[in-house]
Each structure stands twice: as C-alpha cells, then as structure tokens.
Amino acid sequence: MKKAAFFPGQGSQSLGMGKQFYDEFTVFRQTIEEASDCLNFNLKKLIFDGPESDLTLTENAQPAILSVSVGCYRVAEMELDFKSDVNLGHSLGEYSALVTADAFPFADAIQWVNARGLAMQKSVPVGEGTMSAIIGADDAQVEEWCKEATAEAKRARESSDTEYNVACTVEPANFNAPGQVVVSGSVDAVTELEKII
C-alpha cells in the first residue's frame, strides 16, 4: 500500500502546537532546537508561550509551522517506521513536503521560510491586509463580489481623511477547491466583501 504525507500551510498555527510531541519525543525536541539555532531565536518559547499575536505574524508562523510539521514527520519515521511514498503540502506546506522527501535539508528550508515570511510581512504592514475564506460560492461569483467590494471600499476611502499604505483592493488569492476560495486584500476592501456576502 502506498503512503502519503500531507502538510498544512499558514493559518494552521496555534499556541502550544506540538507540545505533547515535544514533551515525549527526543527527535521532535531536536527539530525545534535545530530551527531555533538556525533562526537565532527561541522558537520553542514562541510556539508554546507566545504570545499568540507574535506567533501569527507571518515571519514567525512560517518557520514555526515548518518546524512542527517536520518534527511530527520525524516522530512518525522513528516511532512507526513510517516512510511516505508521496508528500504533499498546501502553500507553505510544500516546504515541509520537500524536506521530508529529502529534496533539501531542514536547516536550509528554515532559512528560506524565515526569509519568505519576512518578505511577506514587510510587503503589507501589520493590520492593513487580511485574508478570508469564502465557502459555498462558485469562483465567478466570488470574483464579482471582489469587484463590488473593491469599488465600494474605494468610494469610502475617497470620502475619508485616513492615509493608507496599501492599495484598496480584494482579490481571489487561492482557489482551494470547488466552493472554497480564499481572498486577500486591504482590510477595508475585505470588510466590504464580507458585508456583501
């Protein structure tokens, strides 16, 4: 029988994730410690103690999710003699899939996802961009709603004295599955979209 490993992307992080594995399995602890050494900060403290607002920052969430994912896979390898035939990852999870398929070393991946997270975090100031999952609507309807929401948010901005650092827009970002579209954009435009829906 063929075996597959599936790895999650950003948004799957939660405070305390992997704590039981950390407490019980040496290889998991070693994975978190290796990541901390590569990053020059205490990833364990961030994952287990937070605060959650720091863990959810893209620059922190991405290395944390990669580390926990790879750590869990390594536990399965050691404890269950598990070896996948196929590895899959959603967005950031692709890095976990590639590391566990031995495509490149974990230490390199940690550096890359840290740089990726920093670049993403810097591209949109904290609090000015957001994402939302739209479930139960077809792709064309979501695209139409995005156009309406962008137009409404732009009208609202024109009558406001507030200064913005990001473009006023909301667009489909991921077509995850039929009936599930993730949108991203400025907070005001995404808020308008949620009102329309």
- Could you tell me which of 15, 24, 8 has the C-alpha nearest to residue 47? 15
- Whether the per-residue pLDDT at 163 is higher than 90: the answer is no
Q: Is residue 7 predicted with pLDDT exceeding 90?
A: yes
Question: Radius of gyration of the chain from Cα atoms?
Answer: 19
Residues 103 and 26 placed together within one structural domain of the fold: yes
106 and 163 co-located in one domain:
no
For residue 53, which of 111, 127, 104, 109 has the smallest C-alpha distance?
Answer: 127
Domain count, the chain: 2
Asked if pLDDT for residue 126 goes beyond 90, the answer is no
Domain that holds residue 159: 129-196
Please say whether the beta carbons of 150 and 143 come within 8 A: no
Domain C-terminal end among 82, 102, 123: 123
Predicted confidence band at 159 (pLDDT cuts at 50, 70, 90)?
A: confident
**Whole-number pLDDT of residue 88:** 98
CATH number at residue 85: 3.40.366.10
pLDDT tops 90 at residue 121? no
Band of pLDDT at residue 169, cut at 50, 70 and 90 = very high
Q: How many CB atoms neighbour CB 139 within 10 A?
A: 14
For the whole model, what pTM was predicted? 0.83
Same domain? 60 vs 118: yes
The confidence band for 72, taking pLDDT boundaries of 50, 70 and 90, is: very high
Q: Are residues 38 and 76 in the same domain?
A: yes
Percent of the chain having pLDDT more than 90? Answer: 84
Regarding whether 133 and 171 lie in a shared domain, the answer is yes
Residue 78's identity, in one-letter code, is M
**Do 142 and 111 lie in a common domain?**
no
Query: Measured at the alpha carbon of residue 191, what is the angle toward residues 188 and 194, in degrees to the nearest 5?
Result: 155
Contact (Cβ atoms closer than 8 angstroms) between residue 8 and residue 65: yes
Q: What is the pLDDT of residue 124?
A: 80
pLDDT of residue 74 exceeding 90, the answer is yes
pLDDT averaged over every residue in the chain = 94
Question: What's the pLDDT at 140?
Answer: 96
Q: What is the CATH number of the domain that holds 158?
A: 3.30.70.250
pLDDT at 160: 83
Q: Pick the last residue of a domain from 74, 107, 123.
A: 123
- Judge if 88 and 20 occupy the same domain: yes
Q: Are residues 17 and 72 in the same domain?
A: yes
Same domain? For 58 and 153 the reply is no
Q: Are residues 33 and 94 in the same domain?
A: yes
The phi-psi region of residue 121 (left if phi > 0; otherwise alpha if psi is between -120 and 50; otherwise beta) is alpha
Residue 143, CA atoms < 13 Å, CB-side half-sphere: 5
Rounded to an integer, the average pLDDT of 147-171 is 88
Looking at the fold, whether 70 and 32 belong to one and the same domain comes out as yes
> Which domain-ending residue is among 101, 123, 145?
123
Residues 68 and 153 reside in one and the same domain: no
Query: What pLDDT sits at residue 176?
Result: 87
